[in-house]
Amino acid sequence: MTVWTRQQVQDAAPDAASLKAAATLATPAPWSQTGSTEALVWGRCQGSGGSPYQVSVDLHGPAYRCSCPSRKTPCKHALALLLLWSDGSLGADAPIPEQAAGLTAPEATRSAPAAPPDPEAQARRAQQRLATMDAGVADLRLWLTDLARGGLAEARGHGGRWWSDQAARLVDAQTPGLADRVRRLGPALEARPDWATHLLDELGRLWTLTGAWLRREALDADSRADLRVALGWPIPSAEVLRTPALDGTWQVLGAHRDLEGDYQQQRTWYLAPDGAVDVVFESGGRGQALGVPQLAGAVVTGRGHRYPGHPPRRLLFDGTPSPSATAPAWPGGSIAAARKAASDALGVSPWRDVFPVLLTGVTFDAGRVVDADGDAWPLATGTDEVRLLALTGGHPCTAFGELEAGQLRVLTLVVEGEVIGL
Amino acid sequence: MSASDVAGWLAALEASALVGTRRRPPPALPAIGLGPASEADPAEQLLDQAGLAAALRRAGGPASRGAAPAAAAPEALPEAPAAAAQLLMLLLDQPPVEDAARNSLIVAWLWRAARSGVRAPHATLPALLEIARGDADVAGILPRVWGTRGTWLQGHVDAPLGAPGAEPALDRSAMALPERVAELAFLRRFDPPAGLQRLEADWDGLAARERAGLIRELVAGLSSADESFLEAALDDKAKTVRGAAADLLRRLPGSAFATRMGRRLRGALVVERHPGAAPSIELREPEELDDDAARDGLTDAAEILDAIVAAAPLEVWREGTGLPIFQIAAVVPERFLGPLTAAAQAQADRPFAEALYRRAPDDHLLPLLSDDSLTEAIVPLLNPHHPRARTAGATIAHAPRPWPLRLATSVLSTLHGYDDPLRYFRQQVGPLLLEGLPVSALGAARRTADSTFGTASYRRSLLHAIQHLTFVQSIEEAFS
């Protein structure tokens, strides 16, 4: 079948809004595994959801299929796919996005404010916020000691409201980071067989975190920045962009999306030009679109700024990084070395949840990742181990993942030179 | 300080935490060189210790040990071409066809891959294995294209394919009949000797009803390897079991049972030749039955000849009459047409089936006809003036699918009419289109869809069939 003209694609659109939405998606960035035959055009489009939408168009008919929830036929994904096909940009793998949407925080892309902010008013607002936060933290510590006196078993008997009420108080106290930690406790009590150990650990971590906050004046600037972020007071990107820049090529190691609950998060891990591992962190409410995820193994050239704090550090790109032809490198190590690095980071910020881990020569077996030395880590709950086995066949491979609570969540595999994002 | 000190402390800490410091104070902290002051409020002490414990559990603690599994052998087959692999992933993740049709497309993909001598991509194996567990057609072809990785993966999944037969259940005597039937049917499909072995092992402990129910399952993968078991079953106490065994043995024209029946047929056949006219065939009732007759099920005097005809090898007719097949079919007495048709079916004998169909069109013979004969048998019925036009739809339902191209295009042009001249035809044939239309009929199907009026359900069937064929065609393209 001859390739459709742009006009034909436009004629297929159910309305102007769909076409407009499709036009923004008609770049190679969110697309993977695209292809076409005489009768069929297909591809995967990464939407805001966890797994990409599967799109296919049967050209005779024509019949449109897409796994997105849209009721429009064809939906914007199908139209975007046809636009790409019509432009002749289909089929070629497009691991490097042209538009790295979502990499840049909104504040950073905005032009500079017309008038400089009033420094005095700013300081006053900061003082007010600190006072609110301090009060919230003190209230949380009282709540924690009450809980410790009554016992975990008694706490477990409280309904879900009891936890969410405390979380709501922490939101009021402008400490959403703490609120999020408390909110997650309630459901975990029902779901986890090891609920008592888990709850005790989490309470201990909250206690350490809040204790450190109250002593923040005695801590160094990086630790104070870590604390501020952990409590949920984001550092404005304008401020971050004033920190020293790091120019060079950045390689996407892997990405994790957490879409559970009312709060979505996306972490994209980069191997920085200086060999450190940094993370671009995005979050939003339910239904809010996160940035287009980067494909593991992509290499971009750009200017990055690191947020203050201890490594692994949060990253902000100044502008849109451009695709680079540099081949990705995977300088992984052993489990023992990664464990040491994670322990060191934990020694500095004991409330840290997630550590990036790049391992070489590992295999998977019986729910564990095993390296050449015979050291092992359990795989994160919910890991599709059969998939890992199918992809690796028991041969040593390179794996990138996140270490969280002693378990490894594998995000990327490198098998015989092929990079596979999971 | 030893690891057991820490473990003891962690256990004591959790015990205090569970009941609360009001009831049980926190334990003493082991000497690990750091730690909070102990004179604080007990609740605060407990929380201090909990913070320490959390950090220890995350950062410290002995690493667990493991060993790499034995790795999969290198692949001997190349991977399917990229476009074909993408189509398979599309089918697995978000099929562009109705769900019911998806598995048949997966099967089509797998067969096409087998034909090309390539294998499924490693990433698709988990989903394929999952589907194969519930779909015998997928399970049947998958091992041919899963490569060494698939074989290896089988050893690493909780429920490998073929699990029903892999390990005998601990207490087989407690298994219900449907469970046993499912197990045996599965085994017979993929490993007929193993199925027979399982049945033989269980046989003596089974009730008559179970024996009869299970022995019928040997029909899948039936071969001469099953003969001695079936022959022995002719001595079973239960009539239902004996009948089922005889029914299977007549499908094996080389079996001793069929040979005995052939000998009896030979004795009964009488051919009379009439100069200038067609010969005639008669069958005479045997004057006395041989010793094995009762054991072979020949007990009802009125039906002895029918039973012999239905079970004797067809070769005996050729040898015994010296007549060509078309003539045998033309002159065999009418009352034996039914048993002879049954014999042709059981022995899957195409020449006999075609000759018998010309004599008396029995729909059950359609699966045995050649493409040309099948087309010639059905196309005339599509004429509204044909005396059997009313039943054309029912007849087509018996034809093997996909149909030969000429039959398919004739069906499509019949569907093309405005007024459904054959009444009910669309209703009967619509659901068959998906499997009935061959890929080569795709163009004709599209033209029909463009210009056909009809009920919504019929149009839907036609469009689904077209969608399906389009995908099959895409698979074909992607592999070539």
The predicted pLDDT at position B173 comes to: 75
The predicted pLDDT at position A199 comes to: 95
Over range B194-202, report the average pLDDT: 92
Neighboring chain A residues of B18 at a CB cutoff of 8 Å:
151-153, 196
B297 φ, ψ to 5°? Answer: 90, 10
Give how far Cα A133 sits from Cα of A130, A173, A178, Å.
Answer: 5, 5, 10
Are A60 and B51 inside 8 Å of each other by CB?
no
Give how far Cα B276 sits from Cα of A274, A308, B125, B279, B325, Å.
Answer: 104, 111, 69, 9, 19
Neighboring chain A residues of B70 at a CB cutoff of 8 Å:
394
pLDDT digit string (tens) for A361-393? 999 988 899 999 999 999 998 899 999 999 999
Q: Which of A37-41, A92-96, A416-420 has the lowest mean pLDDT?
A: A92-96
Q: How confident is the model at residue A261 (pLDDT cuts 50, 70, 90)?
A: low
Over range B382-408, report the average pLDDT: 89
Neighboring chain B residues of A33 at a CB cutoff of 8 Å:
86, 89
Assign 3-state DSSP to chain B and report helix, strand, coil percentages, each to 5. 65, 0, 30
Are B67 and A370 inside 8 Å of each other by CB?
yes
More confident position, A196 or B421: A196
Which residue type does B310 have?
Answer: A
CB B73 within 8 A of CB B152: yes
The predicted pLDDT at position A29 comes to: 76
Over range A152-167, report the average pLDDT: 90
Q: Hey, is B209 helix, strand or coil?
A: helix
The predicted pLDDT at position A94 comes to: 34
Which tokens sit at B175?
């298994």
How close B173 comes to chain A (CA, Å)? 33
How close B154 comes to chain A (CA, Å)? 10
Are A196 and B18 inside 8 Å of each other by CB?
yes
A50 shares contact with chain B (CB less than 8 Å): no
The predicted pLDDT at position A366 comes to: 81
How close A231 comes to chain B (CA, Å)? 17
Would you tell me how many other CB atoms lie within 10 Å of the CB of residue B396?
A: 23
Are A370 and B68 inside 8 Å of each other by CB?
yes
Residue of B440, B475, B471, B435 lying closest to B113 (CA atoms): B475
Are B89 and A339 inside 8 Å of each other by CB?
no
How close B46 comes to chain A (CA, Å)? 7
pLDDT digit string (tens) for B247-272? 999 999 999 999 999 999 999 999 99
CB A368 within 8 A of CB A340: no
Q: Which of A271-275, B155-159, B274-278, B331-335 has the lowest mean pLDDT?
A: B155-159
Are A56 and B43 inside 8 Å of each other by CB?
no
The predicted pLDDT at position A145 comes to: 95
pLDDT digit string (tens) for B76-107? 999 999 999 999 998 998 777 776 678 889 99
Q: CB-based burial of residue B201 (10 Å sphere; 0-12 exposed, 13-18 middle, 19+ buried)?
A: exposed
The predicted pLDDT at position B421 comes to: 55
How close A131 comes to chain B (CA, Å)? 23
Compute the distance between CA of residue A59 and CA of residue A81 in angstroms, rounded to an integer: 12
Largest CA distance in chain B: 126
Instruction: Inform me whether the pLDDT recorded for A251 exceeds 80.
Output: yes
Instruction: Inform me whether the pLDDT recorded for B382 exceeds 90.
Output: no
Interface of A with B in 239-298 (CB under 8 A): none
The predicted pLDDT at position A132 comes to: 92
Instruction: Inform me whether the pLDDT recorded for B117 exceeds 80.
Output: yes
Compute the distance between CA of residue A240 and CA of residue A106 in angstroms, rounded to an integer: 13
Instruction: Inform me whether the pLDDT recorded for B35 exceeds 70.
Output: no
A395 shares contact with chain B (CB less than 8 Å): yes
Residue of A62, A24, A67 lying closest to A44 (CA atoms): A67
Are B14 and A200 inside 8 Å of each other by CB?
yes
High-pLDDT (> 90) share of chain A, %: 41
More confident position, B358 or A88: B358
**ipTM score of complex:** 0.72
Element of type H or E holding B100: helix B99-116
What mean pLDDT value characterizes chain B?
87
More confident position, A143 or B183: A143
Token look-up 């093309």 returns B416
Nearest CB partner across the interface for B48, out of A149, A207, A377: A207
Q: CB-based burial of residue A85 (10 Å sphere; 0-12 exposed, 13-18 middle, 19+ buried)?
A: buried
How close A21 comes to chain B (CA, Å)? 22
The predicted pLDDT at position B99 comes to: 67
High-pLDDT (> 90) share of chain B, %: 54
Are B69 and A363 inside 8 Å of each other by CB?
yes
A56 shares contact with chain B (CB less than 8 Å): yes
Q: Which of A7-21, A50-64, A216-230, B49-63 has the highest mean pLDDT?
A: A216-230
Compute the distance between CA of residue B362 and CA of residue B332 in angstroms, rounded to an integer: 15
Q: How confident is the model at residue A110 (pLDDT cuts 50, 70, 90)?
A: very low
Neighboring chain A residues of B90 at a CB cutoff of 8 Å:
42, 54, 56
How close B168 comes to chain A (CA, Å)? 24
The predicted pLDDT at position A92 comes to: 42
Nearest CB partner across the interface for B17, out of A152, A366, A386: A152
Interface of A with B in 94-133 (CB under 8 A): none
Helices B350-359, B337-346: inter-axial angle, 10-degree rounding = 150
Nearest CB partner across the interface for A390, out of B82, B153, B467: B153
Whether the upstream peptide bond of residue A293 has omega within 30° of 0, thus cis, is no
Closest residue, chain A, to B93 (C-alpha): A54
A391 shares contact with chain B (CB less than 8 Å): yes
Over range A103-129, report the average pLDDT: 60
Instruction: Inform me whether the pLDDT recorded for B454 exceeds 80.
Output: no
CA–centroid distance for B287 within its chain: 45
A201 shares contact with chain B (CB less than 8 Å): yes
Q: CB-based burial of residue B407 (10 Å sphere; 0-12 exposed, 13-18 middle, 19+ buried)?
A: buried
Q: How confident is the model at residue B471 (pLDDT cuts 50, 70, 90)?
A: confident
The predicted pLDDT at position A115 comes to: 53
pLDDT digit string (tens) for A308-339? 999 899 999 998 888 888 888 999 999 999 98
The predicted pLDDT at position A286 comes to: 57
Q: How confident is the model at residue A95 (pLDDT cuts 50, 70, 90)?
A: very low
CA–centroid distance for B387 within its chain: 37
Are B157 and A386 inside 8 Å of each other by CB?
yes
Q: Which of B56-65, B187-196, B233-242 has the lowest mean pLDDT?
A: B56-65
B19, B24, B29, B64: best to mutate for the A interface, most A CBs within 10 A: B64
Residue of B157, B128, B156, B123 lying closest to B142 (CA atoms): B128
A375 shares contact with chain B (CB less than 8 Å): yes
Neighboring chain A residues of B72 at a CB cutoff of 8 Å:
393-395
Are B17 and A200 inside 8 Å of each other by CB?
yes
Are A149 and B61 inside 8 Å of each other by CB?
no
Give how far Cα A107 sits from Cα of A17, A97, A102, A103, A315, Å.
Answer: 27, 22, 12, 12, 14
Q: How confident is the model at residue B209 (pLDDT cuts 50, 70, 90)?
A: very high
The predicted pLDDT at position A21 comes to: 86
CA–centroid distance for B209 within its chain: 24
Give how far Cα A22 sits from Cα of A12, A14, A84, B91, Å.
Answer: 12, 11, 10, 24
Q: How confident is the model at residue B132 (pLDDT cuts 50, 70, 90)?
A: confident
Instruction: Inform me whether the pLDDT recorded for B64 exceeds 80.
Output: no
